Amino acid sequence: MSGTSAHPVWVLLGRRTGDNNQLIAAALALGLPFEMISLKFKGPALPNVLLGASLHSLANPEAIPAGSPRLVLSIGRRSPAVARWIRKRSGGVTKLVHFGRPWGRAQWFDLVVTTAQYGLEPAPNVICNVLPFLRERERTALPGALHERLEALPRPWTVLLAGGNSRPYRFGADVARALADRANELAQVEGGSLLFLRSPRTPEACAQLIAGRLRGPHYVYQPQRDDNPYLALLDRADRFIVTSDSALMVAEALSTARPVEVFRLPREPDWRYRFVSGWNALAEHNALLRVPLRWLQRNGLITSTRELEGYYQRLDSVGAFSEAGAAATVARAECERTIARIRELLEPKPGISSPRA
């Protein structure tokens, strides 16, 4: 066992800003000193059940500090092996909390914090929240170069947030045209201006198609030219249209307590999605198939299909789209419950050890 770290909480950051923000939100809510560790990976993403508790896929192992934290927060597909290695080095003392999908056995972690879209089986160490963790933000200023340009646009502002292809949802030219037409229709009824922000996943051709199809006063975010005004527009928008592929963007828009319309992307499953979905359907009625399928899914060799409809149904059930502020109220309650569970992990319990690395 290595020595104790000066920071009791380690936050394992990856390449996705939204994922990282969820971890930082949890660390801030805990109120304990924490250290952020940026992980960089090499080679293909091997199944975590094969990697075990190791640093084999880590391109920057020197980023892991000396010592052992009391708690590691992780998220994403490639961090579980690193988190488990940190716990192994600690002699099993370090507690592990993973957010989202565990990409392997939920039992590897002391706690898994997830949402309905991932379809995890209920378990004592799994919390299924309605909303992903959101970071509390102070009001963000508009980027200086855009301030005058955007403030000149007439109110109300309808902010259009576009995602991209995300299995099994497809974002093609037909979707781009329909999305732009819906935004124009809403702006014609509500008045004011349209402000279009694309994500890194938005296909370039689709982004250009949307930009060229918008009517009336509008602004189009150009990643190569403009500083990203996303956070500032969350504070200033009067309403939102958000594509359905991004659970996090929808949650962040709902957190503003302003009207949010979800634009549903069509489902176009690829062969992998059809294979897993078909096997799931057969396994529901055939125990001989169900047992091996569940084993493969629990070990991360086949991932469960991502079903955003379940996520949106739970949002509907708490009035997130019909009652202003309902989503924020639910998010606060879920944050308090989740943080309380994490704090319980850090309380000494004689005779009880963490899951095996």
Global pTM reads: 0.87
Query: Residue 224's pLDDT is what?
Result: 81
Please check whether residues 165 and 104 belong to one and the same domain.
Answer: no
Please check whether residues 152 and 254 belong to one and the same domain.
Answer: yes
Please check whether residues 200 and 251 belong to one and the same domain.
Answer: yes
Residue 295 falls within a domain, yes or no? no
Residue 172 falls within a domain, yes or no? yes
User: Mean pLDDT score of the chain, rounded to an integer?
Assistant: 90
CATH number at residue 185: 3.40.50.2000
Please check whether residues 103 and 25 belong to one and the same domain.
Answer: yes
Residue 271 falls within a domain, yes or no? no
Which structural domain, as residue segments, surrounds residue 226?
144-263
Please check whether residues 73 and 121 belong to one and the same domain.
Answer: yes
Please check whether residues 149 and 258 belong to one and the same domain.
Answer: yes
Rounded Cα distance, 270 and 131, in Å: 27
pLDDT for 269 beyond 80:
no
DSSP tally for the chain: helices H, then strands E: 12, 11
The DSSP line for 292-309 is HHHHHHHTTSSPPPP-HH
Choice among 3-7, 194-198, 243-247 with the minimum mean pLDDT: 3-7
Contacts of 174 (CB under 8 A, 6+ apart): none
Choice among 1-15, 115-129, 171-185 with the minimum mean pLDDT: 1-15
Question: Contact at 8 Å (CB) between 115 and 97?
Answer: no
Query: Residue 305's pLDDT is what?
Result: 63
Please check whether residues 23 and 104 belong to one and the same domain.
Answer: yes
Among 207, 231, 263, residue at a domain's last position: 263
Residue 113 falls within a domain, yes or no? yes
- Residue carrying the six token digits 């005058």: 148
Angle between helices 17-30 and 247-254 in degrees, nearest 10: 50
Residue 154 falls within a domain, yes or no? yes
Among 263, 297, 316, residue at a domain's last position: 263
DSSP-assigned letter for residue 261: E
Please check whether residues 162 and 220 belong to one and the same domain.
Answer: yes
Dmax (CA) of the chain: 67
Q: What is the pLDDT of residues 143-169, one digit of tens each?
A: 888 889 999 999 999 999 999 998 888
At residue 307 the predicted structure's pLDDT band, cuts being 50, 70 and 90, is confident
pLDDT for 229 beyond 90:
yes
Q: Which residues pair with 44 in a beta bridge?
A: none
Query: Residue 3's pLDDT is what?
Result: 64
Residue 51 falls within a domain, yes or no? yes
Among 246, 263, 280, residue at a domain's last position: 263
How many domains does the structure of the chain reveal? 2
Please check whether residues 204 and 117 belong to one and the same domain.
Answer: no
Please check whether residues 188 and 258 belong to one and the same domain.
Answer: yes
Report the percentage of the chain scoring pLDDT > 90.
Answer: 71
Q: What is the pLDDT of residues 46-105, one digit of tens each?
A: 999 999 999 999 999 999 999 999 999 999 999 999 999 999 999 999 999 999 999 999
CATH number at residue 46: 3.40.50
Please check whether residues 110 and 156 belong to one and the same domain.
Answer: no
Q: What is the pLDDT of residues 289-301, one digit of tens each?
A: 777 777 777 777 7
Please check whether residues 175 and 221 belong to one and the same domain.
Answer: yes
Question: In three state form, how does the secondary structure of 19-65 look?
Answer: HHHHHHHHHHHHCCCEEEEECCECCCCCCHHHHCCCCCCECCHHHCC
